[in-house]
Structure 1
């Protein structure tokens, strides 16, 4: 009787309206509504129009709302336990009827290409697709589009039953996650895929949540600079020329140098990586559709800022929860192993650092977790095909933490604490539901200890009890830092739990600062004054890659003029060997900002000879002494090539050395800070790609192989510690 009264009331409401009631695209036939909640339903109608919504699962499953002055209405529809199919009816002037609606668990799947990677591209694709007959799993995809302001609706690939006909083009990580939930919980599951390959986290985050972050504001400023100079006609002409060159190269049997692949550069302000553009277009329109939680697979696009990702990930989670008005669960994938297998006990860089950010977020932000995948990557493929393992591990987290299931390992071991005593490091873990173990019962591999000398060595490790690993090495009497699996691709690491899930890479401790200038050059240490100091193995840029971040910046204390400008770089390799070079010269500029790292903000760009040079070094291949002439600088923030445009005597045309050419087409670009002795055909101090941390190029003397100035070597990862000083003599 109550249900009939609701229907009669709604019929009466319809007669007075003048415009059709409309729902956003996230609603549709075959959708899944989140079970046992007050599911938000919203849309548009005439201002002041009353809209009613009913669900066929119960007589009292009904709610009414009145459209506001902008024509928007929203209400909450109480949903039952899992079941269906049902009909949802929306009545205003017109009637919208949504059929074959299920009630169950709804999850949002988002991120970049590894979330977007389809079932059809995963392992055993043909078998997986053929077996994907799950009528109670429903799939919806949000179309790839950007927006400069938050949108209220979006284009989608509508809700549909999961079947062999459509699963091949759906997110593999999301599908395998949802399939396990469906099988283990025995309820309908709805998955919303909103992902875009090659995108950064700042694009998925609302601008209001990140507008105070100087890293992100710098990124946005860089995009805005490109927008100010963007010429669509020139972009089109370049694309057509590149396409012609590419087609001719292919038609000619791919002879000669491969040309640039044709790619149309669209308007920068509308780019998918412009901060907030994807949130505006692909997340905001989906909210506040009722979901249990979200899964996130992204980070490759932010690996160059791995440490900062910790801040960005929590910001994204918090802003999405605020938008939905719910502290829903968020589970994310820690990036897998990738690139060349490691050669050293520790190889710091963006990928191990971003893995640490995932781990720390999972342990510090409530109702989150991270699926550990250090064992399922591929050295030469940034899109590993084993998405079955990824989905399984995400689902294990949800089954335990969200749904309260027990009796299985839900996560790989994550370290909780570490102590150093008696020449050992003792690491205690949250084991994730099963005791610690070594894969296949082998000796533990992947641990490193660092002593007071700053040199990491491979270490022995044994499991003690169910949750502790004891790490030691006869080479390290007083360890101050321990690492595990700390590299881009730490192949072979084998700490797991008895459920077979891998442990997270981690580090604990602190390495003593490398400070050897006064040790090797005590007279110069007394005579020269420090302007800038930094670790060349951890260089980073901010403000849209335009400003270098120094450990010490005393430039405000100096007015000039100076008698001499000097540079000192020291490196300690993985064996503990220390090398250094010191170069002093007559001033080549009176601008104190331009004697430091030539980041874009400084305006420094020098390809010039320098006079009055003195070189001191313990590197045999570097000629030491006084050189009134014969030395030169190559300082720039841009890309550069090997051609000897400056006609430096002895420089080669096709080798990166002491005579290269600066390219003005990309600034900021690769960047170099090089001091050469061209008469000796030597590089002395080289620091390139200076915003890339352990991917920087650093070197003393000539590099071997295809370059002489360390370009493209990413050599910073081969050193344990470094020191760089920029000095003046007043």
Structure 2
């Protein structure tokens, strides 16, 4: 007898619904399930497939389920009955709690929510057909240790729902970093949208996929072999505890290679710094916070490698082995590997040594020397990014598992081509709802956070946010605005608590029937000319509009007939905003928070929820 891996110990079943349990047995074999003091019987068909629908069950647990067929018995233990939510998208949905500890460590310290569970879908793809079964995975509970592996946004969402309604919450994490929205849409829908036929056919060629992956692996191995064989720092041991750096050059850390002699270096650059520690900092637990490094690093203390990271996004937080630090002089050496980007120690990140309950700032002057110069590494092909692949392998196999709704956090990988995203999103929602076949279940999504320097000339993220805002036209949807929780220097902002809470507000409104709840910040509704200005009306004004922090309303621009947008004056008037400009007597359109990082935007409702960016133009 074969069961899907999601039908396993610790699972959460959807409450108050006729939940399906399915599997494979021998042809025409009798199958029996015992669950919650009830028995259910059926027979497998000629192919061995069977399905039983359980009666509606009130929330609670833990329960056991016994499944019998042909003398074989499977027992599934520690089952809860509550609400099940699918977590879809890319890396900001995938981002685990352990990656948010700089900000949220106290929030998850000693956490014990055994009624919050997560099933993580293994990353896989298939370009031939929707798949029926999962390649693996298992359920974990939000208890010390395992909670660090939860989706951070998902955990804080589930915590809100669990504490509000006192029911178990099951999360199915099916997110893959870097995936564009097209990867999560069915082939039939993608073909109807058009423009993807060539790549679809190419990915159906198993020989092409296998050969490309093999070539990528061989090329990457060869690149690192050349680098390591020519790296003078590895040959001579520049990581050793003692090394004469008198002829090395100075580098102000943090900082970028850009604008200096290192800008075009692809290969390795070594950095060293000597520090003096009091004995009190050599006792107890110790950790090195090395900010974020572009692209990869190997980091040593006193000649011992304490950690390495192979790509640019994860924060470097390396535990230091007990006894490695010593009173007096200690040496930190960092080998930075630039594979294809301009190297950097990213600014405004923590660069500190934490030891013995004390901290030492590591920013400032370091010594550096180039270890090896190579050609840039050719980028590999990520097949999980291709259209339909993860839909077939990571959405389709879930279609028999009853859910309450879906949460979606994606869009970063579509910011280079924002036009048309709203149509793709509409297609995705329709696909997923068709897949589960349970009607217009709640679909709650996250609008992209702020990112990048405060520069109004970069607007592709603003354009994508506007496309996301159009998603609210789809029935049964809600959007969590997050333009105030991003970090200008990090694609993966750590404040997933706020994200989870705002997603939960949408769920409370759509899925739990809190009709009077203010679940959203102000959303642009319509505009009308008002003398020489424009009056903007909003939905979701709550108890009233406010300029967060007091003072003037910021973040608005206006254009006249020439279509050139310029900063405008804006003032709250009741539940509307009046936008004017001294030199524009015929205003045509208004934009709000129209930048990749609209840090100055400050329109909120009194419930503390930010207004969505918008453009009144089509």
The TM tier, using the shorter chain, reads 0.7 to 0.9
| CA distance, structure 2, for counterparts of residue 421 and residue 221 of structure 1 | 55
**Alignment partner of 2:398: what SS?**
coil
Structure 2 counterparts to residues 472-551 of structure 1, below 5 A: 472-509=580-617
Equivalent position of 1:443 in the other structure = 552
Report the Cα offset of residue 113 of structure 1.
Answer: 0.6
- Cα distance in 1 between the residues matched to 2:188 and 2:120: 26
TM-score (norm 1): 0.62
Equivalent in the alignment of 2:49: 72
Say yes or no: does 1:38 pair with 2:116: no
2-structure distance, mates of 1:246, 1:97: 53
User: 1:39/1:335 Cα in 2 relative to 1: closer, same or farther (>3 Å)?
Assistant: same
Q: Do structure 1's residue 197 and structure 2's residue 177 form an aligned pair?
A: yes
Alignment partners' CA distance in 1, 2:172 and 2:157 = 12
CA contact (8 A) 2:104 2:495 kept: no
Deviations 1:498-545 (A, max 9, x none): 1111100001136xxxxxxxxxxxxxxxxxxxxxxxxxxxxxxxxxxx
Structure 2 residue 118 is the aligned partner of structure 1 residue 139: yes
Once the 2 structures are TM-superposed, how far is the Cα of residue 265 of structure 1 from its aligned partner? 6.8
SS at match of 1:127: helix
Residues 252-271 of structure 1, C-alpha deviation per residue, up to 9 Å, x if partnerless? 679781236297977x6x81
Q: Is the 8 A contact 1:410 1:432 kept in 2?
A: no
Higher relative contact order (CA 8 A, sep 6+): 2
The residue aligned with 1:239 is 220
State the partner residue of 2:469: 359
Q: Which has the larger radius of gyration?
A: 1
The unaligned stretches of length 5 or more in structure 1 are 1-20, 511-730
Partner of 1:295: 407
User: Which residue number in structure 2 is paired with residue 714 of structure 1?
Assistant: none
Count of residue pairs brought into register by the alignment? 480
Q: Residue 189 and residue 233 in structure 1: after superposition, are their counterparts in 2 closer, same or farther (change >3 A)?
A: closer
Q: Measure the CA separation in 1 of the matches of 2:9 and 2:177.
A: 28
Deviations 1:410-463 (A, max 9, x none): 111111111234222111111264422110222100011100122211111112
Change beyond 3 A, Cα 1:156–1:165: farther
The corresponding residue for 2:75 is 97
Match of 2:193 among 192, 213, 217: 213
Aligned residue among 22, 45, 63 for 2:2: 22
RMSD over aligned CA atoms reads 2.5
Secondary structure in 1 matching 2:490: coil
Encode CA deviations 1:642-698: one digit per residue, 9 max, x unaligned: xxxxxxxxxxxxxxxxxxxxxxxxxxxxxxxxxxxxxxxxxxxxxxxxxxxxxxxxx
Structure 1 residue 198: deviation in Å? 0.9
- Equivalent of 1:369 in 456, 468, 478: 478
Unmatched runs of 5 consecutive residues or more in structure 2:
239-256, 268-337, 341-376
Structure 1 residues 337 and 322, CA, compared in 2 at 3 Å: closer, same or farther? same
Structure 1 241/450 Cα, relative in aligned 2: closer, same or farther at 3 Å?
A: same
SS in 2 for 1:78: coil
Match of 2:532 in 1: 423
SS at match of 1:502: coil
Contact 1:417 1:428 in 2 (8 A): yes
Instruction: Report the alpha carbon displacement of residue 90 of structure 1 after superposing the two structures with TM.
Output: 1.7
* Partner of residue 459, structure 2: 349
**Shift in alpha-carbon separation, 1:234–1:138, aligned structure 2, 3 A:** closer
What secondary structure is seen at the aligned counterpart in 2 of 1:441? coil
Cα distance in 2 between the residues matched to 1:174 and 1:27: 20
Counterpart residue number, 1:257: 265
Q: Which residue of 2 aligns with 1:546?
A: none
Distance in 2 (alpha carbons) for counterparts of 1:398 and 1:279: 24
Of 435, 438, 442, which aligns to 1:323? 435
Partners of 1:41 and 1:74 within 8 A in 2: yes
Change (3 A) 1:251 1:356: same
* Residues 213 and 62 of structure 1, relative CA distance in 2, 3 Å threshold: same
Q: Which residue number corresponds to residue 179 of structure 1?
A: 159
Give the 3 Å change call, closer, same or farther, for CA 417–63 of structure 1 in structure 2. farther
How far apart are the structure 2 equivalents of 1:51 and 1:164?
A: 38
* Residue 716 of structure 1: aligned partner: none
